[in-house]
């Protein structure tokens, strides 16, 4: 996998390349406005309502809940913990991911290709599954802990996997991959001639690194840092399972909601969203998503072959050891799935291994979470792909109106005012559509879950509010909203990378706008859209953070079932669901990868 624009965060608008002028079918302005309203209802409205309701008490408008929030030290503490855990996660993920990227991109040794692919594995591990796997491995009764305990003949487990240390360990494992992939992609894009130029100007290795390589990597590093920060800020499963009394904002929000303190959970939601948006704002102008303009790009520097046989062997051995560490969570999950309930008590290794857990999947109740997750993820992905594509195309079509006062609307109404209105609306609409599509990326999943629960728990159709809580519609709707940035931004990135000359060639060959769209533009967009949809499917399939707020017994997805089984100490069955989740993610990953390469 390479980090595509589908996974990249929204960059500062000035740095994004402008959308190409493609001969798309003329979009009636009303259609584009309707699409923007639909997206606003799905994305912006729930957030706005949450903000409004956080200022609204039984007796009218009040800032009492905010005053409470600022008065209570536990709230401040949770906010502070969220912040420092996120920043520490960025530092640790960078400390692991960046050197790994340099090793795999700049050195050549036996097994480099295979190990390089293995190093990207955590990206395909759903968050909750990763956390559970860590529990099986390094928890008090995990394999590694038992092995160390037996080795050192200790009476009790050598450590407890709990608190901030445990959260950071899981975050580092899960998020270094962002730095690894973005840095590798950045290094692969660098021009060897730049380093040679620095050498010829007297720069040694260290100066080349600090003055040339790292500044050129800035965009990749800032993008990875932002992605890591946002994901860590929104992270729920690790703090939920390992945090204990160590609360961060997402777990604090859930606790307030479970305690029936709806108002406070809304204030916390608003505060978490504010921190996320502040993080996004702070990253603007730091070069995220953009690279310095260079006249001509040459080839990337050649990999340096590790020459000395002993060093080669050492590097290869270290690489395979690393691969084993990275593969262990997957392997342990597969192993535990073969352990029948109640057969593994105190032994260092499970005494019984069979397929009994898998056989239980024939039972309707055991099968239900799988069916739920599959249909909800599929429906959400399909809708997100359709909406994302429509929004991207509408953004391009709307922007074409800029500077076209003779557009359809003005022609029909025949007035200069209408022409100017159409032009201004068109130019604004493109930006609005892009913002709405990208917004859920910056908002933690818990925030959206609370916002959707707030919006769709009231029956007021004239205000766009319906009672969806407790129905099978709400979870797919939540998945859809969270998937929109993946599909919409993938489609926008595909459109941005498109050569307008191809569409112009089609037009010159007599193809109308609709035929150009169908025969030229959409086929070219397919790889980018497939990549976005693949990621959206993986995210929805393994979602835990919104599911835990919005699920019901009948709509419970796989992640909730995993948690339930682990809490019931039926580790085997929990691992079975984990394995299935990994398999589903891997299949989606494989299906999307060739599409990206085409």
Q: What residues line the site for other proteins (CB under 8 A)?
A: 191, 193-194, 196-204, 207, 211-212, 215-216, 218, 291-298, 302, 307
**Minimal distance, residue 229 CB to other proteins, in Å:** 23
Sign of CA pseudo-dihedral 406, 411, 417, 422: negative
Task: Report the residue number, 213 or 487, with the smaller CB distance to other proteins.
Answer: 213
Q: How far is CA 412 from CA 29, 271, 418, 420, in A?
A: 12, 47, 9, 13
Residues 169/203, Cβ–Cβ less than 8 Å: no
Sign of CA pseudo-dihedral 64, 67, 69, 74: negative
Please list, in sequence order, all residues whose beta carbon lies within 8 angstroms of the beta carbon of residue 263, skipping any fewer than 6 positions away. 53, 54, 57, 65
Q: How far apart are CA 324 and CA 328, in angstroms?
A: 6
CB atoms within 10 A of CB 348: 12
Q: How far is CA 4 from CA 8, 14, 502, 528, 538, in A?
A: 7, 20, 22, 8, 15
**Minimal distance, residue 112 CB to other proteins, in Å:** 15
Task: Report the residue number, 297 or 420, with the smaller CB distance to other proteins.
Answer: 297
Residues 150/71, Cβ–Cβ less than 8 Å: no
Q: How far apart are CA 522 and CA 292, in angstroms?
A: 30
**Minimal distance, residue 291 CB to other proteins, in Å:** 8
**Minimal distance, residue 312 CB to other proteins, in Å:** 12
Task: Report the residue number, 199 or 343, with the smaller CB distance to other proteins.
Answer: 199
Task: Report the residue number, 30 or 296, with the smaller CB distance to other proteins.
Answer: 296
Question: In the 3-class helix/strand/coil scheme, how is 278-339 assigned residue by residue?
Answer: HHHHHHCCCCCCCCCCCCCCCCCCCCEECCCHHHHHHHHHHHHHHHHHHHHHHHHHHHHCCC
**Minimal distance, residue 197 CB to other proteins, in Å:** 4
Q: How far apart are CA 98 and CA 209, in angstroms?
A: 13
Rounded-to-10 torsion of CA 528, 532, 534, 539: 170
Q: How far is CA 9 from CA 248, 442, 480, in A?
A: 23, 8, 18
**Minimal distance, residue 181 CB to other proteins, in Å:** 22
Task: Report the residue number, 103 or 253, with the smaller CB distance to other proteins.
Answer: 103
**Minimal distance, residue 33 CB to other proteins, in Å:** 37
Task: Report the residue number, 213 or 256, with the smaller CB distance to other proteins.
Answer: 213
**Minimal distance, residue 184 CB to other proteins, in Å:** 19
What count of residues does the chain have?
598
Task: Report the residue number, 291 or 522, with the smaller CB distance to other proteins.
Answer: 291
Token pair of 167 as six digits: 């959260």
Please list, in sequence order, all residues whose beta carbon lies within 8 angstroms of the beta carbon of residue 420, skipping any fewer than 6 positions away. 405, 410
User: Quick one: DSSP state of residue 13?
Assistant: G
**Minimal distance, residue 589 CB to other proteins, in Å:** 30
Helix (H), strand (E) at residue 108: strand 107-108
**Minimal distance, residue 94 CB to other proteins, in Å:** 19
Task: Report the residue number, 310 or 508, with the smaller CB distance to other proteins.
Answer: 310
Task: Report the residue number, 194 or 353, with the smaller CB distance to other proteins.
Answer: 194
Residues 517/465, Cβ–Cβ less than 8 Å: no
Map tokens 């909730």 to a residue. Answer: 560
Task: Report the residue number, 312 or 408, with the smaller CB distance to other proteins.
Answer: 312
Task: Report the residue number, 195 or 270, with the smaller CB distance to other proteins.
Answer: 195
**Minimal distance, residue 100 CB to other proteins, in Å:** 22
**Minimal distance, residue 293 CB to other proteins, in Å:** 3
Task: Report the residue number, 211 or 416, with the smaller CB distance to other proteins.
Answer: 211
């Amino acid at each position: 996998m390479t980090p595509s624009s589908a996974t990249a965060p929204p960059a500062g608008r000035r740095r994004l390349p402008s959308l190409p002028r493609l001969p798309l079918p003329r979009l009636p302005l009303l259609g584009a406005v309707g699409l923007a309203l639909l997206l606003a209802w799905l994305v912006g409205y729930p957030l706005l309502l949450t903000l409004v309701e956080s200022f609204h008490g039984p007796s009218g408008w009040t800032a009492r809940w905010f005053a409470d929030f600022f008065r209570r030290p536990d709230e401040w503490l949770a906010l502070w913990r969220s912040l420092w855990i996120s920043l520490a996660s960025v530092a640790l993920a960078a400390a692991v991911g960046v050197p790994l990227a340099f090793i795999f991109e700049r050195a050549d040794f036996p097994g480099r290709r295979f190990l390089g692919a293995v190093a990207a594995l955590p990206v395909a591990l759903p968050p909750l599954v990763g956390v559970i796997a860590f529990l099986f491995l390094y928890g008090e009764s995990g394999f590694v802990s038992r092995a160390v305990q037996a080795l050192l003949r200790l009476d009790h487990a050598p450590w407890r996997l709990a608190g901030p240390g445990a959260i950071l360990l899981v975050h580092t494992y899960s998020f270094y991959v962002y730095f690894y992939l973005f840095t590798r992609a950045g290094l692969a894009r660098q021009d060897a001639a730049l380093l040679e130029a620095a050498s010829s100007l007297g720069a040694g290795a260290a100066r080349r690194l600090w003055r040339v390589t790292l500044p050129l990597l800035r965009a990749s590093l800032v993008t990875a840092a932002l992605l890591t920060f946002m994901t860590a800020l929104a992270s729920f499963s690790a703090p939920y399972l390992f945090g204990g009394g160590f609360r961060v904002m997402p777990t604090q929000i859930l606790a307030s909601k479970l305690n029936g303190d709806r108002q406070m959970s809304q204030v916390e939601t608003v505060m978490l969203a504010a921190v996320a948006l502040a993080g996004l704002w702070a990253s603007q102008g730091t070069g995220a998503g953009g690279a310095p303009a260079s006249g001509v790009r040459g080839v990337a520097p050649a990999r340096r072959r590790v020459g000395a046989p002993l060093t080669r062997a050492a590097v290869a051995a270290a690489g395979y050891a690393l691969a084993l560490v990275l593969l262990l969570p997957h392997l342990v999950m597969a192993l535990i799935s073969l352990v029948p309930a109640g057969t593994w008590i105190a032994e260092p290794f499970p005494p019984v291994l069979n397929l009994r857990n898998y056989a239980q999947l024939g039972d309707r109740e055991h099968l239900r979470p799988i069916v739920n997750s599959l249909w909800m993820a599929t429906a959400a992905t399909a809708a997100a792909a359709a909406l994302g594509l429509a929004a991207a195309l509408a953004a391009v079509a709307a922007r074409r109106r800029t500077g076209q006062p003779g557009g359809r609307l003005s022609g029909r109404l025949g007035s200069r005012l209408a022409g100017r209105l159409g032009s201004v609306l068109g130019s604004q609409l493109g930006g609005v559509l892009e913002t709405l599509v990208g917004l859920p990326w910056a908002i933690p999943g818990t925030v959206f879950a609370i916002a959707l629960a707030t919006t769709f728990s009231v029956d007021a159709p004239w205000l766009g509010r319906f009672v969806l809580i407790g129905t099978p519609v709400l979870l797919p709707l939540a998945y859809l909203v969270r998937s929109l940035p993946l599909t919409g931004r993938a489609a926008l990135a595909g459109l941005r990378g498109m050569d307008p000359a191809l569409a112009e060639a089609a037009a010159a060959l007599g193809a109308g706008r609709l035929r150009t769209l169908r025969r030229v533009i959409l086929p070219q967009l397919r790889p980018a859209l497939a990549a976005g949809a693949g990621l959206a499917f993986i995210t929805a399939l393994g979602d835990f953070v919104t599911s835990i707020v919005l699920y019901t017994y009948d709509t419970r997805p796989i992640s909730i079932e995993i948690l339930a089984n682990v809490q019931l100490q039926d580790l085997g069955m929990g691992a079975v669901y984990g394995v299935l989740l990994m398999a589903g993610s891997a299949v989606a990953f494989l299906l999307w990868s060739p599409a990206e390469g085409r």
